[in-house]
Amino acid sequence: MGDSLPTKTALITGATSGIGRATAERFAAAGIQLVLCGRRQERLTIIQEALSKQTKVHILNFDIRDRKAVHAAITSIPKDFSKIDILVNNAGNAHGLDTIDEGNLDDWDAMLDINVKGLLYVSKAIIPKMIEQQTGHIINIGSTAGKEVYPKGNVYCASKHAVDAINQGMRLDLNAHGIRVGAINPGLVETEFSNIRFKGDTDRASTVYKGFKALQAEDIADIIHFVISRPYHVNIADLVVMPTAQASSTIVKKVL
Protein backbone atom coordinates (compact mmCIF):
# COMPACT_ATOMS: atom_id res chain seq x y z
CA MET A 1 0.00 0.00 0.00
CA GLY A 2 1.50 3.29 -1.04
CA ASP A 3 4.50 1.27 -2.25
CA SER A 4 5.89 1.80 -5.73
CA LEU A 5 7.34 -1.74 -5.84
CA PRO A 6 4.97 -4.58 -6.81
CA THR A 7 3.13 -5.78 -3.73
CA LYS A 8 4.38 -9.09 -2.42
CA THR A 9 2.30 -11.64 -0.54
CA ALA A 10 3.57 -13.65 2.41
CA LEU A 11 1.94 -16.62 4.11
CA ILE A 12 2.95 -17.04 7.74
CA THR A 13 2.09 -20.06 9.88
CA GLY A 14 1.78 -19.71 13.63
CA ALA A 15 0.95 -16.05 13.11
CA THR A 16 -1.04 -15.53 16.32
CA SER A 17 1.92 -15.15 18.67
CA GLY A 18 5.66 -14.83 19.11
CA ILE A 19 7.91 -14.77 16.06
CA GLY A 20 4.98 -15.34 13.67
CA ARG A 21 3.01 -12.39 14.94
CA ALA A 22 6.05 -10.10 15.08
CA THR A 23 6.89 -11.07 11.50
CA ALA A 24 3.34 -10.29 10.40
CA GLU A 25 3.68 -6.85 12.02
CA ARG A 26 7.11 -6.24 10.44
CA PHE A 27 5.88 -7.30 7.00
CA ALA A 28 2.71 -5.19 7.30
CA ALA A 29 4.86 -2.14 8.06
CA ALA A 30 6.72 -2.89 4.81
CA GLY A 31 3.45 -3.07 2.86
CA ILE A 32 3.61 -6.83 2.24
CA GLN A 33 0.19 -8.48 1.84
CA LEU A 34 -0.44 -11.16 4.41
CA VAL A 35 -2.06 -14.57 4.64
CA LEU A 36 -1.97 -15.30 8.35
CA CYS A 37 -2.50 -18.86 9.58
CA GLY A 38 -3.22 -20.01 13.10
CA ARG A 39 -5.38 -22.10 15.35
CA ARG A 40 -6.82 -19.25 17.40
CA GLN A 41 -9.59 -17.52 15.42
CA GLU A 42 -10.09 -14.74 17.96
CA ARG A 43 -6.43 -13.75 17.88
CA LEU A 44 -6.33 -13.97 14.09
CA THR A 45 -9.26 -11.56 13.87
CA ILE A 46 -7.65 -9.09 16.27
CA ILE A 47 -4.36 -9.18 14.33
CA GLN A 48 -6.20 -8.82 11.02
CA GLU A 49 -8.04 -5.75 12.30
CA ALA A 50 -4.85 -4.17 13.57
CA LEU A 51 -2.71 -4.83 10.48
CA SER A 52 -5.41 -4.03 7.90
CA LYS A 53 -4.57 -0.37 8.49
CA GLN A 54 -1.20 -1.02 6.83
CA THR A 55 -1.77 -3.80 4.30
CA LYS A 56 -4.28 -6.34 2.98
CA VAL A 57 -4.69 -9.26 5.35
CA HIS A 58 -6.40 -12.61 4.80
CA ILE A 59 -6.70 -15.02 7.73
CA LEU A 60 -6.86 -18.81 7.67
CA ASN A 61 -7.93 -20.68 10.78
CA PHE A 62 -6.76 -24.31 10.69
CA ASP A 63 -4.57 -26.85 12.44
CA ILE A 64 -1.44 -27.68 10.43
CA ARG A 65 -1.51 -31.21 11.88
CA ASP A 66 -4.62 -31.93 9.82
CA ARG A 67 -3.52 -32.51 6.25
CA LYS A 68 -7.05 -32.21 4.82
CA ALA A 69 -7.58 -28.92 6.66
CA VAL A 70 -4.24 -27.65 5.34
CA HIS A 71 -5.20 -28.49 1.77
CA ALA A 72 -8.68 -26.96 2.15
CA ALA A 73 -7.31 -23.79 3.72
CA ILE A 74 -4.63 -23.22 1.10
CA THR A 75 -7.00 -23.88 -1.80
CA SER A 76 -9.50 -21.42 -0.30
CA ILE A 77 -7.08 -18.48 -0.55
CA PRO A 78 -8.79 -15.72 -2.59
CA LYS A 79 -7.33 -14.79 -5.96
CA ASP A 80 -5.95 -11.46 -4.72
CA PHE A 81 -3.70 -13.32 -2.28
CA SER A 82 -3.05 -16.48 -4.23
CA LYS A 83 0.40 -15.60 -5.62
CA ILE A 84 2.42 -16.49 -2.56
CA ASP A 85 5.88 -14.92 -2.85
CA ILE A 86 7.06 -15.75 0.65
CA LEU A 87 6.23 -18.71 2.88
CA VAL A 88 7.33 -18.42 6.50
CA ASN A 89 7.13 -21.88 8.07
CA ASN A 90 7.06 -20.62 11.63
CA ALA A 91 4.47 -22.76 13.47
CA GLY A 92 6.14 -25.01 16.00
CA ASN A 93 6.64 -25.49 19.68
CA ALA A 94 8.35 -27.48 22.39
CA HIS A 95 6.24 -29.68 24.64
CA GLY A 96 7.92 -30.84 27.81
CA LEU A 97 11.57 -31.02 28.86
CA ASP A 98 12.19 -34.57 30.04
CA THR A 99 14.82 -37.26 29.81
CA ILE A 100 14.13 -39.74 27.05
CA ASP A 101 12.89 -42.38 29.52
CA GLU A 102 10.44 -39.94 31.10
CA GLY A 103 9.16 -38.26 27.94
CA ASN A 104 5.43 -38.08 27.31
CA LEU A 105 4.18 -39.73 24.12
CA ASP A 106 1.56 -37.01 23.53
CA ASP A 107 4.31 -34.38 23.75
CA TRP A 108 6.40 -36.32 21.25
CA ASP A 109 3.46 -36.65 18.86
CA ALA A 110 2.66 -32.93 19.13
CA MET A 111 6.23 -31.87 18.36
CA LEU A 112 6.69 -34.24 15.44
CA ASP A 113 3.19 -33.60 14.07
CA ILE A 114 3.43 -29.80 14.21
CA ASN A 115 7.12 -28.99 13.84
CA VAL A 116 7.85 -31.56 11.14
CA LYS A 117 4.72 -32.94 9.49
CA GLY A 118 2.73 -29.70 9.67
CA LEU A 119 5.62 -27.80 8.07
CA LEU A 120 5.69 -30.42 5.32
CA TYR A 121 1.92 -30.32 4.71
CA VAL A 122 1.88 -26.53 4.34
CA SER A 123 4.98 -26.57 2.12
CA LYS A 124 3.50 -29.32 -0.05
CA ALA A 125 0.42 -27.15 -0.62
CA ILE A 126 2.40 -23.99 -1.48
CA ILE A 127 5.38 -25.34 -3.44
CA PRO A 128 3.43 -26.20 -6.64
CA LYS A 129 2.31 -22.56 -6.83
CA MET A 130 5.91 -21.40 -6.48
CA ILE A 131 7.06 -23.89 -9.13
CA GLU A 132 4.37 -22.61 -11.47
CA GLN A 133 5.53 -19.04 -10.80
CA GLN A 134 9.22 -20.10 -11.05
CA THR A 135 9.81 -17.78 -8.13
CA GLY A 136 9.26 -17.82 -4.39
CA HIS A 137 11.01 -17.72 -1.05
CA ILE A 138 10.61 -20.27 1.72
CA ILE A 139 11.85 -19.38 5.19
CA ASN A 140 11.94 -22.29 7.61
CA ILE A 141 12.12 -21.33 11.26
CA GLY A 142 14.46 -23.86 12.82
CA SER A 143 16.30 -23.51 16.11
CA THR A 144 19.70 -23.82 17.70
CA ALA A 145 18.06 -27.09 18.86
CA GLY A 146 18.36 -28.16 15.22
CA LYS A 147 22.11 -27.65 15.35
CA GLU A 148 22.95 -29.30 18.67
CA VAL A 149 21.19 -31.62 21.10
CA TYR A 150 20.93 -30.63 24.74
CA PRO A 151 19.99 -32.72 27.79
CA LYS A 152 16.22 -33.41 27.95
CA GLY A 153 15.79 -31.77 24.53
CA ASN A 154 15.74 -35.15 22.75
CA VAL A 155 12.55 -35.11 20.65
CA TYR A 156 12.26 -31.33 20.33
CA CYS A 157 15.87 -31.28 19.10
CA ALA A 158 15.05 -34.17 16.74
CA SER A 159 12.13 -32.20 15.30
CA LYS A 160 14.33 -29.16 14.72
CA HIS A 161 17.14 -31.30 13.25
CA ALA A 162 14.44 -32.54 10.86
CA VAL A 163 13.61 -28.92 9.95
CA ASP A 164 17.33 -28.40 9.25
CA ALA A 165 17.36 -31.45 6.93
CA ILE A 166 14.10 -30.43 5.24
CA ASN A 167 15.47 -26.92 4.69
CA GLN A 168 18.53 -28.40 2.95
CA GLY A 169 16.40 -30.86 0.99
CA MET A 170 14.01 -28.16 -0.20
CA ARG A 171 16.91 -26.02 -1.35
CA LEU A 172 18.35 -28.89 -3.38
CA ASP A 173 15.07 -29.97 -4.93
CA LEU A 174 13.74 -26.48 -5.67
CA ASN A 175 17.00 -25.14 -7.06
CA ALA A 176 15.92 -25.96 -10.63
CA HIS A 177 12.84 -23.80 -10.15
CA GLY A 178 14.65 -20.67 -8.98
CA ILE A 179 13.03 -20.80 -5.53
CA ARG A 180 14.95 -19.38 -2.58
CA VAL A 181 15.03 -21.56 0.53
CA GLY A 182 16.65 -20.68 3.83
CA ALA A 183 16.39 -21.28 7.56
CA ILE A 184 16.59 -18.96 10.53
CA ASN A 185 17.70 -20.80 13.67
CA PRO A 186 17.12 -18.78 16.83
CA GLY A 187 18.43 -19.58 20.27
CA LEU A 188 16.65 -18.24 23.35
CA VAL A 189 13.73 -16.03 22.31
CA GLU A 190 11.44 -14.68 25.01
CA THR A 191 7.95 -15.61 23.76
CA GLU A 192 5.22 -18.02 24.87
CA PHE A 193 7.70 -20.78 23.97
CA SER A 194 8.66 -21.79 27.51
CA ASN A 195 5.14 -21.29 28.79
CA ILE A 196 3.95 -23.89 26.31
CA ARG A 197 6.93 -26.14 26.94
CA PHE A 198 6.15 -26.10 30.68
CA LYS A 199 2.39 -26.33 30.13
CA GLY A 200 1.45 -23.00 31.65
CA ASP A 201 3.88 -23.10 34.59
CA THR A 202 4.71 -19.40 34.22
CA ASP A 203 7.15 -19.35 37.16
CA ARG A 204 9.24 -22.10 35.64
CA ALA A 205 8.95 -20.52 32.19
CA SER A 206 10.09 -17.10 33.39
CA THR A 207 13.28 -18.53 34.96
CA VAL A 208 14.47 -19.53 31.48
CA TYR A 209 14.86 -15.85 30.52
CA LYS A 210 16.00 -14.48 33.90
CA GLY A 211 19.44 -12.95 34.42
CA PHE A 212 20.22 -12.04 30.81
CA LYS A 213 18.72 -10.21 27.87
CA ALA A 214 17.00 -12.81 25.70
CA LEU A 215 16.17 -12.28 22.04
CA GLN A 216 12.72 -10.80 21.46
CA ALA A 217 10.31 -11.90 18.74
CA GLU A 218 10.84 -8.52 17.05
CA ASP A 219 14.59 -9.24 16.74
CA ILE A 220 13.82 -12.35 14.69
CA ALA A 221 11.13 -10.56 12.67
CA ASP A 222 13.68 -7.90 11.73
CA ILE A 223 16.09 -10.58 10.56
CA ILE A 224 13.38 -12.33 8.55
CA HIS A 225 12.53 -9.02 6.91
CA PHE A 226 16.22 -8.45 6.14
CA VAL A 227 16.45 -11.93 4.59
CA ILE A 228 13.40 -11.50 2.36
CA SER A 229 14.35 -8.00 1.26
CA ARG A 230 17.76 -8.96 -0.20
CA PRO A 231 18.03 -8.80 -4.00
CA TYR A 232 16.66 -12.00 -5.52
CA HIS A 233 20.11 -13.42 -6.37
CA VAL A 234 21.01 -13.38 -2.65
CA ASN A 235 19.80 -16.33 -0.60
CA ILE A 236 20.58 -16.45 3.11
CA ALA A 237 20.59 -20.22 3.28
CA ASP A 238 21.08 -20.90 6.97
CA LEU A 239 21.33 -18.38 9.77
CA VAL A 240 21.93 -19.02 13.49
CA VAL A 241 21.10 -16.21 15.92
CA MET A 242 21.52 -16.21 19.70
CA PRO A 243 21.38 -13.58 22.42
CA THR A 244 24.85 -12.18 23.11
CA ALA A 245 24.63 -13.83 26.53
CA GLN A 246 24.19 -17.26 24.93
CA ALA A 247 27.14 -19.26 23.59
CA SER A 248 25.39 -22.60 23.07
CA SER A 249 22.20 -24.35 24.12
CA THR A 250 23.65 -24.95 27.58
CA ILE A 251 26.04 -22.04 28.09
CA VAL A 252 24.28 -18.79 28.97
CA LYS A 253 25.93 -15.99 30.94
CA LYS A 254 23.37 -15.13 33.61
CA VAL A 255 23.64 -12.53 36.32
CA LEU A 256 21.07 -13.52 38.94
Residues that bind ligand 8X3 (CB under 6 A): 143-145, 153, 187-188, 249
58 Cβ contact partners less than 8 Å away, ≥ 6 residues apart: 33, 34, 35, 36, 48, 77, 78, 80, 81
CA distance 42 to 204: 27
Residue 136 vs 153, nearer CB to ligand 8X3: 153
Residue 30 vs 158, nearer CB to ligand 8X3: 158
Residue 9 vs 143, nearer CB to ligand 8X3: 143
To the nearest whole angstrom, how small is the minimum distance from the Cβ of residue 145 to ligand 8X3?
Answer: 4
To the nearest whole angstrom, how small is the minimum distance from the Cβ of residue 80 to ligand 8X3?
Answer: 34
Treating both helix axes as pointing N-terminal to C-terminal, what angle do 119-133 and 67-75 enclose, rounded to 10 degrees?
30
**What are residue 30's phi and psi, to 5 degrees?**
-95, 5
To the nearest whole angstrom, how small is the minimum distance from the Cβ of residue 253 to ligand 8X3?
Answer: 15
Structural contact between residues 111 and 159, judged by C-beta atoms closer than 8 angstroms: yes
CA distance 131 to 178: 8
156 is known as an active-site residue: yes
To the nearest whole angstrom, how small is the minimum distance from the Cβ of residue 32 to ligand 8X3?
Answer: 25
Q: Which residue is nearest to ligand 8X3 (CB)?
A: 143
Structural contact between residues 188 and 209, judged by C-beta atoms closer than 8 angstroms: yes
Q: Which is catalytic among the residues 121, 156, 209, 232?
A: 156
> C-alpha angle 241/70/227, rounded to 5°?
25
Residue 136 vs 186, nearer CB to ligand 8X3: 186
**Catalytic residue annotation:** 156
